[in-house]
Structure 1
């Protein structure tokens, strides 16, 4: 572990020299170690080949083949050459990319005991406690405890119990859009308010809410690290991890200090605030208060306090950004496909008759809204290149050898744009999911939320939040593109901004109330409170 209190400053010249020496020394030792490791891997393969893939260079393997942006595009190109599973070596470490649902199902679901861990991120682990974040935890007892804690708050039954909270936030979203058209910020606030209420019993009133600001700062800090997992320390932690942080520059040092502090601010401090209020009888019921009660000891201490704190924070960290992004893509789709929007509104009007707003009780009678939700997850999956799994034992697939320590990615983009599954893979086409059940294509929820024992525990909450938000937005508003000075629509770009979660590029949209009846109902509901 790097001791932050013992970090020494050094002049730039010394930093450059130390960096050069470190890289030379690390490269030499890594070569010796990796050569030995590769020999061991080959000796355990029992003659079975590693999956085919692009030929790499000596020592570094396929490092130079790895795309910097939109990796799913390159992965899909490789699939056309090498098949449904593509094998790579990154500095001697095996990696495979799964480009079909069958491959992902066979490996990540049916062999989930082997393929449920995570690659470690030494740079983050050595300089913060973010390794306790559920998304990053390796498979083991801590992962199981944290997942059990989180699941207790977001399982189907628990989500049904908070449907009134979710529906109320959807109504508030409509009201805020009427006051200001900045949809993304209102969307972010809605998702944050739902999750903070569930996790901590915290009431969010506006954009200046302290806990919302803390969580957003934590997200930015993690994004500032850039390509997490690609830092030299992550590649050679045993040697380079012992170097002082100033070797990597002042910016990296400041960023890592911010990452460490953000983990405390986002997880530990909210837990401590709720615990203190709960002891005084002032806390609202929440995931955190319930877990405190369930883990309270006779002496007044709370067992598993660390896991409770990080599990509660994971509800926000794992759910807010993802659900927000999916709803952003939905609005984009409504701007680009007005004929789809019109079909959905015709179904809404037939049911609601302009004299009430949608509720969860309407779900069975609004199949087009459900199809819209599924198509949003398919059309623009928010993790298009998947999130890495790590194998902990040797395994096989189709007479190919997958050695222990293999990093496995599932190419969600390729799977969800398969023309054999979806008749209009590049278009936003909800009719994919309105055919008879025997002709239904692959459900995007079976891909977008992950596989095996790492499937997203918050998927029920995400699905519920998305459905009511989509139904509510289309009931009250006509969503369209802004118009430029020449009278032409300003259409949003549909490509991604890369990240752990891939976001749409910023865009503006127009929300115009389309019915006096629906608008009157919303205002009457607001006044009644």
Structure 2
């Protein structure tokens, strides 16, 4: 009896929502026609959806509509449309979807995915104090030290370059966030636990991972706990990670009490936060770590692939390094203003293969109109960053290629940034109120890592027995919210016999 009643209620709810969608359809932006009830759910691929979105942008225009199992969804495929809505109307486009599984995983405390409320404002404000442009300078010494360790490991095990990128990314993030000493590998049990949790978070945030997230199937969240493995797993993970995060913050507090003034985001935050806000602060810090530890390593992997596919850019960067730095010392942040090509390389890397080709969705908090189309309240808005970064009217006819020169003038100086990109030249860091708060630290990390790598090494393609280069496919990738290239091979060789001695001396000078 109860089974029949539940089934009838579900059918009625779904039917009402279908009729509601049909009534609104004539006022909505154009888009691919879908199937009854599920709409476009099965037309959006689970692998590389940005490529299909790019195709639909060319077919339907800069804004198109999808019905994802009852959820009104729009995709923005041009820089103008994305900036018009997500930036210039940020006050109503900066909310997030109500992630059911992810909020169970994080207790609703991960501010990168949380709703636009007072809690989010407090958390974002606290983190900004430790990651803004001025504060990011405090971490230069850590970024240089980690780069030295990276070079030392590359000299002895160049074939493990992807592992070295993961280590430097994880270790540096722990140092900046929690004040840890550099790690020589990534086998620490706390790192393994957090990284496992991070994968769960990224899975929960990825579109289509759980049926309960779709509007027509939200009723599943009311099912008994014993019927929902996704609920049990998420709640258990939250309990485990909460204990770990409390321990990490307690460790920093002990250092503060002992008089340690090491610069870290946690140190700056815990010196000012009230005791009753400590739980929130733990998740402020965790959110920074969860984002930083994954993304930098992925970007370095894409950078290595770019060096293989576009060797001329490597040559130009090394000529600049040889002219400014020379062969007898490592680059430093003091060289920053004199290395415009390296800085342009960072901008181009984040444009060419940013780790978020679709980005994290926004949610519209009230009815809106754009270009004559109705955009209903609670519509989910994706900016297809992939399409935005391929606009030939903005980046030129070679937009699909890696070319740092597009950010330089005829004299080799950085040109004014692309409009609406907040001086970045790309949209990888997001939009409006949701723009990445750690972007200054991320840019600095990529600058110094790339400068060190190209000062020390030549990065080339492996060749087969016939002398043919084995080139990676830049469209092949491993997916999640952070997209990285499919593992590939390359040759990484020291540029001179002096590199090993200079790196060893620098390592000794830093006590590592």
Do 1:379 and 1:426's aligned partners in 2 also have CA atoms closer than 8 Å?
yes
| Distance in structure 2 (CA, Å) of the matches to 1:83 and 1:22 | 44
Residue number among 132, 136, 143 corresponding to 2:113 in the alignment: 136
Shift of 1:63: 1.6
| Distance in structure 1 (CA, Å) of the matches to 2:373 and 2:219 | 33
Do 1:60 and 1:92's aligned partners in 2 also have CA atoms closer than 8 Å?
yes
Shift of 1:509: 2.6
Report how many residues are paired.
499
Residue number among 502, 505, 513 corresponding to 2:494 in the alignment: 513
| Distance in structure 2 (CA, Å) of the matches to 1:135 and 1:440 | 26
Residue number among 164, 168, 175 corresponding to 2:152 in the alignment: 175
RMSD (CA atoms): 2.8
Shift of 1:333: 0.7
Residue number among 180, 194, 199 corresponding to 1:215 in the alignment: 194
Query: Is the alpha carbon distance of 1:503 and 1:204 closer, same or farther for their aligned partners in structure 2, counting shifts above 3 Å?
Result: same
Query: Is the alpha carbon distance of 1:287 and 1:225 closer, same or farther for their aligned partners in structure 2, counting shifts above 3 Å?
Result: closer
Residue number among 165, 181, 185 corresponding to 2:142 in the alignment: 165
Shift of 1:441: 5.1
1:469 counterpart residue number:
449
Shift of 1:228: 5.0
Residue number among 289, 296, 312 corresponding to 1:339 in the alignment: 312
* Deviation larger for 321-330 or 469-478: 321-330
* Deviation larger for 281-290 or 53-62: 281-290
* Deviation larger for 163-172 or 261-270: 261-270
Do 1:375 and 1:429's aligned partners in 2 also have CA atoms closer than 8 Å?
yes
Where in structure 1 are there 5+ consecutive unaligned residues? 1-17, 297-301
2:384 counterpart residue number:
411
Do 2:347 and 2:426's aligned partners in 1 also have CA atoms closer than 8 Å?
no
SS in 1 for 2:402: coil
The equivalences for 1:273-292 within 5 A come to 273-279=251-257, 284-292=262-270
Query: Is the alpha carbon distance of 1:372 and 1:358 closer, same or farther for their aligned partners in structure 2, counting shifts above 3 Å?
Result: same
CA deviations over 1:457-504 (Å, ceiling 9, x no partner) = 010011000001001100000112234455433322312222111111
Do 1:218 and 1:262's aligned partners in 2 also have CA atoms closer than 8 Å?
no
2:308 is the alignment partner of 1:308: no
Shift of 1:314: 1.2
Give the TM-score, by structure 2 length. Answer: 0.90
* Deviation larger for 276-285 or 54-63: 276-285
2:11 counterpart residue number:
28
| Distance in structure 1 (CA, Å) of the matches to 2:256 and 2:295 | 30
| Distance in structure 2 (CA, Å) of the matches to 1:312 and 1:262 | 16
2:472 is the alignment partner of 1:499: no
Query: Is the alpha carbon distance of 1:366 and 1:471 closer, same or farther for their aligned partners in structure 2, counting shifts above 3 Å?
Result: same
Residue number among 132, 145, 162 corresponding to 1:184 in the alignment: 162
SS in 1 for 2:112: helix
* Deviation larger for 233-242 or 200-209: 233-242
2:272 counterpart residue number:
294
| Distance in structure 2 (CA, Å) of the matches to 1:457 and 1:394 | 28
* Deviation larger for 321-330 or 220-229: 220-229
2:46 is the alignment partner of 1:68: yes
Where in structure 2 are there 5+ consecutive unaligned residues? none
